[in-house]
Amino acid sequence: MVKKYSVVLCIALFCGLFVLCTTNRQIAARTQEVYDHLKTFSDALAIIQNNYVDEIDIKNAIYNAIKGMTASLDPHSAFMPPDLYREMQVETKGSFGGIGIEIIVKDEVLTVVAPIEDTPAFHAGIKTGDKIIKINDEPTKNMTLFDAVKKMRGKPGTAVKLTIVREGVKEPRTLSIVRDIIKIKSVKHKVLEDAFGYIRIAQFQESTAEDFSKAWKDITAHISSPRGLVLDLRSNPGGLLDQAVKIADWFLDAGLIVYTEGRTENQKMQFYAHPDNEIIACPVVVLVNSGSASAAEIVAGALQDYDKAIIVGTQTFGKGTVQTIFPLSDGSGLRITTAKYYTPHHRSIQEKGISPDIVVEDADNRTATGKKSKQFREKDLINHFKGTETAEPDNETGEVFYEQRPGERHVAEDKQLQSALTVLRNWETFKKSLGKQ
């Protein structure tokens, strides 16, 4: 019997050693493959450096190579030279010099996601879907997103020329926009009639959770028992993941808020609500549109999964990936996609977005001729990740409840907000008709 166990133990040890040796050989083979490709790169760089007709700038050559490498990944991965990396760090704090515009690259053309409220771009008439074909007379075709941002930002008081093409308008239009200090106020709030509260989150920044807390306390100071709250996430492009989690925590007394899945263990994270936190227990309506992305979708998705809110508006952008910033030794940085996030009910929002419970059309979704314009989203971007789960069906063609022009407007003119208030006034009826608990 002892001999039998000894044989089994020897076999197990041999198998373990075999697996270990095989794994080590695989790692060594991959390492050698990397070195072989790096040698090809260094050889090419040396040939160009020694034989090109003009002397080249080595740093720029390497920077451009890294830009090309990240450009082949996905729309949200990019290389940031030191100056852009510094600007990115400033932007998360909510203040920078520029014109106030959110852009992406679609079909190799810079396209406006949304102008930021009360900024030079907003007041100049820039609209969602505008295509920027020139910046200061320089064509933008094949221009990287970060290069475009660098050209549009600058010293306050100076002007930048944008040539735009708009659907339904025959001729391109050139606008001269004077730069200003862009101070993005993350949270705005007010008390509405009939004891309703309103909180708008424009972007998730370092101070968003703290500002939200102050806003809610101010609302409850004026209304001891609010009948309901409108949480406005329209045209919110996202931002910091931890801030989105803290906002969702205000509405949940327990349970998973969001989880991420990546290749490495440190990218597999789960974020839960804290049962000892203060909870907003009144009825809640969340307003969303095609410009609501990433962190905004995390909040909307979590509240929708737990039936803690009714979602009103149009289909969201559909960005279900997480980006991590890696600083490099020379002050530059890499922004690369490291994980995908999922809602508490295991929905991937990538490509699909959040489907509103009640569709409220944007009037600005129409061209100059009155036709409904196509709203671009994550699924329209080159090299975007495919959704790994089936999310909510695209509800763009659903019943139109109201029409709304985006931007901060008087409450009476904001039909989406009026829709939200209608839902809050008839909360039990809407919950029952939508099959919510």
Residues marked as catalytic: 294, 305, 319
The whole-angstrom separation of Cα 390 and Cα 388 is: 7
* Distance between first and last Cα of the chain: 63
**b/e map 141-162, b = 16+ CB within 10 Å:** eebbbbbbbbebbeeeeeebeb
66 exposure class (CB count in 10 Å sphere: 0-12, 13-18, 19+): middle
Q: Which residue has the tokens 């995908």?
A: 340
CA-based radius of gyration for the chain: 25
Of all helices (H) and strands (E), which one includes residue 40? Answer: helix 2-51
**Taking the mean position of all CA atoms in its chain, how far away is CA 60?**
29
State the CB neighbour count (10 A cutoff) for residue 67: 17
- 3-state class (DSSP) for residue 422: helix
| Closest residue by Cα to residue 111 from 132, 125, 127, 126 | 132
Q: What angle do CA 391, 396, 400 make, to 5 degrees?
A: 130
Q: Which tokens go with 181?
A: 């200090």
The whole-angstrom separation of Cα 246 and Cα 309 is: 16
The DSSP code for 417 is H
118 exposure class (CB count in 10 Å sphere: 0-12, 13-18, 19+): middle
50 exposure class (CB count in 10 Å sphere: 0-12, 13-18, 19+): exposed
The whole-angstrom separation of Cα 206 and Cα 228 is: 27
Instruction: State the amino acid at position 334 in one-letter form.
Output: L
The whole-angstrom separation of Cα 158 and Cα 177 is: 8
Q: Which residue has the tokens 């996905």?
A: 74
Cα–Cα separations (whole angstroms), residue 147 to 88, 128, 140, 247, 251: 13, 20, 9, 32, 39
